[in-house]
Structure 1
Amino acid sequence: MSTAVTAETLCLLAAGSFFMTGLLTGWWKYRCIATSAEATAPVYVDIAHRAALMYAFSAMLIREFVPYSPLSATGTLLAVAAPLLFFALAIATYVLHGILRDTDNQLRNPHRLGNGTLPGFAIHGFMWLLALAEIGGFAVLLWGFLKSMT
């Protein structure tokens, strides 16, 4: 077996990491609910839990489209890595907000991070990059699949 990281192995690694994160944040969510007078978890603990589980299965879905990629192995790896990176960054952001308990909406002004704030251009710039990476990376793979049907 080659030691080079392939697009498929990256998807499996990401899926496993995201799924484990989902399981661990699920336990965190349960502990918050069990120890809360209101029997609730912080908003971003719940979001981190659900997003990690969703992104685990999204990584597996992306893996299924890898064989249809119209790109070289390196290009395919980049097309796969882009959305997976932003999935991971999104989960990390949700976990951070869950730990800090600093907001119930990271997109609301002012953009809180702990006791400080972030400039709007940083938040919205990140969201534009996220959309470009996630949609663009998968669009390449989907295009390859659609092309294989003709």
Structure 2
Amino acid sequence: MHNDQYPDDVPTPHIELPPGVFPPMPGYTIADLLFVANQPVEAFLEAHTIDPGLIRETSTALVSHVYAVFEREDVQYQIATWYQKPYDHPSMCTRSIEIIAEQFGVLALDAAADSLEGSPLLQLGEDFYLEFIRLAGEAIKYHILKLNDRENPAHSAGHEAAQ
């Protein structure tokens, strides 16, 4: 994909990673994960006819909180590393992905809860609050679980050596 803001002739910065750590994978960078977490939450807010300004403010708060947590936990590197590292048995990779999907889904859920602190949306009640945070957490969880889809080309390419 060509982007005029980042011409092709400008080298991208190269980060030296420790042995055994893999670089972020397309679709699983922090930016990708922020998009994934925000989409169902934004749709939920729109379905409840929340003021567009409050939706923007809420989305900004959600993305800021999730970003801070995911950056601190190096989520994009953990996902790539747990997915691409060699396993003795493919089922071990599947299990690792299930574990990190659950863990990072909970991180997103907690960050979503924190993002509502002081928000007027809290006046809409506990059911609204619980659905809001559930949507963010499950979006991340199910997105990461897609890595276990054997039809995914990245999955089979990343595990040829282990199989």
* TM-score band, normalised by shorter chain: 0.3 to 0.5
**TM superposition score normalised by structure 2:** 0.32
More helix by share: 1
